[in-house]
Amino acid sequence: MALQRWQQIREEVLARYKVFEVVKSRRRSPRTDVEIGFFLVRTPDWVNVVALTDDDELVLVRQFRHGTETMSLEIPGGLIDPHESDPATAAARELREETGFAATAVARIGVMTPNPAIFTNRCHTYLATGCRRVGPLQQDPGEDIEVVLVPAREVDELVRKGEIDHALVLAALAFWRAAAAR
């Protein structure tokens, strides 16, 4: 028997927060006909940006992450705002807000599901080229960001050493490497 979608029986929103809601979903297995409960995190789609300067430097951000209680070296990114119909617009906005940089070109290089077991969203990855500083950072109240420029040739070493360990950043770098190999 081929795999089939599970039938949704009902959903209940357990909690609503600024950027996500927690949902309890009851679904029926097409194989066993058993009804099972699942917890889902419903959130808007995200973007992340592999940003390169004309000097072949990667524009990274370092920030404190509350989940791991560590400083994390990452690429710029964030939520797609409700009024943004095009993820490329959100990617350019996030790059500008988090780094003070703007790009001459922004191109989608991949889309991923961050954790399809519980998250309902997708993360769109963009390559921003020709990046240059155009102004100060425009951080959200909950962000404290340091901009870090790294020669692109050193990124693999940062990954090997574990200095870049955010899963979505690692996936974005894989999209970047795959796009470059074309």
Task: Show pLDDT as tens, one digit a residue, over the chain (182 residues).
Answer: 689 999 999 999 999 998 999 999 999 999 999 999 999 999 999 999 999 999 999 999 999 999 999 999 999 999 999 999 999 999 999 999 999 999 999 999 999 999 999 999 999 999 999 999 999 999 888 889 999 999 999 999 999 999 999 999 999 999 999 998 87
Q: Is the C-alpha dihedral spanning 35, 39, 44, 47 positive or negative?
A: negative
pLDDT of residue 162: 97
Instruction: Specify whether the CB–CB gap between 121 and 114 falls below 8 A.
Output: yes
Q: Is residue 21 within a helix (H) or strand (E), and if so which, with residue range?
A: strand 21-28
Instruction: Specify whether the CB–CB gap between 75 and 61 falls below 8 A.
Output: yes
Query: Which amino acid is it at 117?
Result: A
pLDDT of residue 68: 95
Question: Are residues 91 and 38 part of one domain?
Answer: no
Question: Are residues 33 and 118 part of one domain?
Answer: no
Question: What's the domain range around 29?
Answer: 7-42
Question: Are residues 145 and 97 part of one domain?
Answer: yes
Which is nearest to 52 in space by CA: 113, 7, 106, 89? 106
Question: Are residues 72 and 28 part of one domain?
Answer: no
Which is nearest to 51 in space by CA: 114, 89, 99, 115? 99
What tokens were used for 166?
């955010």
Decide: helix, strand or coil at residue 72: strand
Q: How far apart, in whole angstroms, are the C-alpha atoms of residue 132 and residue 95?
A: 11
pLDDT of residue 142: 86
pLDDT of residue 180: 86
Question: Are residues 55 and 29 part of one domain?
Answer: no
Which is nearest to 80 in space by CA: 49, 104, 105? 49
Length, in residues, of the chain? 182
pLDDT of residue 61: 98
pLDDT of residue 140: 86
pLDDT of residue 44: 95
Which is nearest to 46 in space by CA: 115, 102, 104, 96? 115
Q: pTM of the entire structure?
A: 0.93
Count of domains in the chain? 2
Where would I find the H helices in 30-166?
87-99, 155-160
Q: How far apart, in whole angstroms, are the C-alpha atoms of residue 162 and residue 170?
A: 11
Instruction: Specify whether the CB–CB gap between 120 and 43 falls below 8 A.
Output: yes
pLDDT of residue 181: 80
Question: What's CA 90's distance to the chain center, in Å?
Answer: 11
Question: Are residues 96 and 56 part of one domain?
Answer: yes
Place of tokens 């940006």: 49
Question: Are residues 177 and 102 part of one domain?
Answer: yes
Classify residue 2: in a domain, yes or no.
Answer: no
